[in-house]
């Protein structure tokens, strides 16, 4: 019986090390907003299956969605598509599986919607406002330059004809012509 227990413990130890996939991101304390793409990172070795599936779930299993199928294990990462329908919660995990079952489970992390939504709107509004101000300022500067140019042209034209008259008058009054 003792030999059987030693064998069983050794076999279980071997099986647990047979698959070496480890999820490195997300990690504990991570907050994700699924309105933007997120990258899941993992490490693996040559004993792991070539392709895996990635699942997002909460700890008690009441929510579960498959994020990806047939992900090449050697890639070491997978970037999700945005999915703002994923509900908020502080008990989410990434699960990596293959056809035989679970290979890895991430630390628990949080999903909060809207964290980047307001920033995007504000930024867009700010850019629009800035562009409008710059455009209005450019038009105002153009009008000012046009007005100055017209005024300068008018000033240059008037003294030239007046100077011309002054030069011809002294010459004709001296009798030199």
Report d(CA 131, CA 40) in Å as an integer.
Answer: 37
pLDDT the model gives residue 113: 83
pLDDT digits (tens, 9 = 90+) for 115-152: 443 333 333 333 333 333 334 444 444 444 444 444 44
Q: What is the DSSP string of 98-160?
A: ETTEEEEEPPPEEE-TTTTHHHHHHHHHHHHHHHHHHHHHHHHHHHHHHHHHHHHHHHHHHHH
Of the candidates 120, 70, 61, which has an alpha carbon nearest to the alpha carbon of residue 97? 70
Mean of pLDDT values over 92-106: 96
Higher pLDDT, 18 or 100: 100
Please report which confidence band the pLDDT of residue 77 belongs to, taking 50, 70 and 90 as the band edges: very high
We find that the CATH architecture of domain 2-115 is Sandwich (2.60)
Mean of pLDDT values over 3-29: 63
pLDDT the model gives residue 42: 98
Identify the three-state secondary structure at position 75: helix
What residue segments make up the domains of the chain, in order of their start?
2-115
pLDDT the model gives residue 108: 97
Which residues 6+ apart lie within 8 Å of 42 measured at CB?
Answer: 21, 22, 23, 24, 76, 77, 96, 104
């Amino acid at each position: 019986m003792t030999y059987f227990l030693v064998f069983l413990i050794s076999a279980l130890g071997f099986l647990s090390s047979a698959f070496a996939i480890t999820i490195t991101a997300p990690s504990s304390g991570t907050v994700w907003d699924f309105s933007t793409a997120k990258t899941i990172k993992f490490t693996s070795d040559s004993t792991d299956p070539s392709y895996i599936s990635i699942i997002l779930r909460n700890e008690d299993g009441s929510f579960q969605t498959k994020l990806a199928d047939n992900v090449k294990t050697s890639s070491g990462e997978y970037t999700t598509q945005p999915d703002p329908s994923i509900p908020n919660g502080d008990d989410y995990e990434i699960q990596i599986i293959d056809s035989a079952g679970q290979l890895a489970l991430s630390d628990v992390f949080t999903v909060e919607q809207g964290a980047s939504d307001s920033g995007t709107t504000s930024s867009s509004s700010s850019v629009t406002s800035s562009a409008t101000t710059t455009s209005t300022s450019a038009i105002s500067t153009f009008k000012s330059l046009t007005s100055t140019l017209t005024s300068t042209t008018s000033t240059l034209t008037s003294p030239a004809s007046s100077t011309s008259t002054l030069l011809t008058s002294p010459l004709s009054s001296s009798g030199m012509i």
